[in-house]
Amino acid sequence: MNAQPSNEPDRHRYLFADSDVAARRLEFLAQVFAQSTKALLMDAGVGAPAHAVDLGCGPGYTTRFLAQTLGCQRVSGLDNSKAFISLARSSVHDGEGENPSFHLHDITKVPFPIGPANLLYCRFLITHLAEPEATISSWATQLQSNGYLLMEEAEWIDTSLSVFTDYLEMTEAILASQSNSLYPGGLLDNLKNTDCLKTRLSRVYRLSITNADAATMFYLNLQSLKDHPFIHANSAGTEIQRMEQDLLTLSRTTGGRSQIEWGMRQLVFQRI
Ligand SMILES: C[S@@+](CC[C@H](N)C(=O)[O-])C[C@H]1O[C@@H](n2cnc3c(N)ncnc32)[C@H](O)[C@@H]1O
């Protein structure tokens, strides 16, 4: 995959570094996780929804993947990042009109500004929510009757490589300091059926990722994480520099060796 990180200094770092690096990481992540997302969309039994909505759409890679894989008539993306929504909108070509359409919106607030949906989808979003259970149950009100809610999140990441375990422990600690979880998959599996939402599928999809691809994603993420106040307070600069260098070296390896596997919790609810 063509997203080798560069260790050359970035002159625009203070102005654009976070959104630019985060967008590059999401583009790369979209390629790496396409296999697991495709399996969920194919196995969910949702047909071709008239209106699908991508919650926490970022720059729109998942939104387009939904449209292409399911053949939706209409697809909308919602995100609360101005930078990502503007990037997503800039990727819509002239001939595409309003499809896909992208909207700046905090998805913890209902109603959504795009009318009812036949399918709601999110990936790697629950990790960032302060009150996931309450937010997820509020989404049911935005679904048409018989509409579907599909979610996928990490339940575990299994690896024996110390540079990966060090990175994952650090990320887990940062998220815990904000009362968030790196592994919200278990929380999703514990969600109970409600009067209007019934579980149609709950499984863990196992995805092996090459060391080079995992290192690339982690390296790009580290560019944002290393400025987090938790890191300044709890980690030595030299420790982070070593992790960064080790990830960069690993990201440049070839041969496709994999010593890291994701367990992705995939859930399908249907509104009754
Ligand atoms: C890790 S990214 C995942 C993006 C995309 N779903 C994917 O898998 O490539 C999480 C996204 O959720 C968005 N997000 C987080 N909290 C949000 C909120 N309360 N409302 C809307 N978007 C949110 C972030 O801006 C970011 O684009």
Q: For ligand 1, atom 23, which residue shows the shortest CA distance?
A: 56
Distance 104 CA to ligand 1 centre (A): 11
Give the model confidence (pLDDT) of 82-107 as tens digits. 999 999 999 887 767 678 999 999 99
Asked if pLDDT for residue 150 goes beyond 90, the answer is yes
Give the CATH number for residue 202.
3.40.50.150
- CB of 62 within 6 A of ligand 1: the answer is yes
pLDDT tens profile 30-88:
999 999 999 999 999 999 999 999 999 999 999 999 999 999 999 999 999 999 999 99
pLDDT value at position 19? 60
Whole domain around residue 40: which residue ranges? 13-157+180-207+262-271
| CA 73, 78, 84, 85 torsion-angle sign | positive
Per-residue pLDDT band for 7 (boundaries 50, 70, 90) equals very low
Residue 172 has pLDDT above 60, yes or no: yes
* Phi, psi dihedral angles at 262 (to 5 degrees): -100, 140
The pLDDT assigned to 152 comes to: 98
Is position 213 within any domain?
no
Residue 56 alpha carbon to ligand 1 centre in Å: 3
Residue 59 placed within a domain: yes
pLDDT computed for residue 97 by the predictor: 65
Residue 102 falls inside a structural domain: yes
101-104 and 117-123 strand pairing = unpaired
Q: Tell me, yes or no, whether 107 lies in a domain.
A: yes
Give dist(CA 106, CA 76) in Å, integer.
14
Looking at ligand 1, which residue's alpha carbon is closest to its atom 9? 26
**Count of structural domains within the chain:** 1
What confidence category does residue 241 fall into, taking pLDDT thresholds of 50, 70 and 90? very high
Q: How far is the CA of 55 from the centre of ligand 1 (A)?
A: 7
Strand ordering across the sheet containing 74-79: 101-104, 74-79, 51-55, 117-123, 143-159, 260-271, 197-209
Mean model confidence pLDDT for the chain: 90
Q: Whose CA is nearest to atom 26 of ligand 1?
A: 58
**Residue 174: is its pLDDT beyond 60?**
yes
Q: Is 124 in the pocket of ligand 1 (CB under 6 A)?
A: yes
pLDDT, greater one: 98 or 254: 254
Question: Does the Cβ of 30 fall within 6 Å of ligand 1?
Answer: yes
**Residue 8 confidence class, pLDDT cut points 50, 70, 90:** very low
125 lines ligand 1 (CB under 6 A): yes
For 113, half-sphere exposure in the C-beta direction (CA atoms, 13 angstrom radius) is 11
Residue 197 lies in a domain: yes
Domain-located, residue 165? no
Atom of ligand 1 nearest to the CA of 108: 19
- Domain assignment of residue 252, yes or no: no
Ligand 1 touching residue 26 (CB < 6 A): yes
Q: For position 93, what pLDDT does the model report?
A: 79
- Per the structure block, which two tokens stand in for 261? 């596997």
Average pLDDT over residues 12-36: 73
147 located within any domain = yes
Say how far apart CA 44 and CA 129 lie, in whole Å.
24
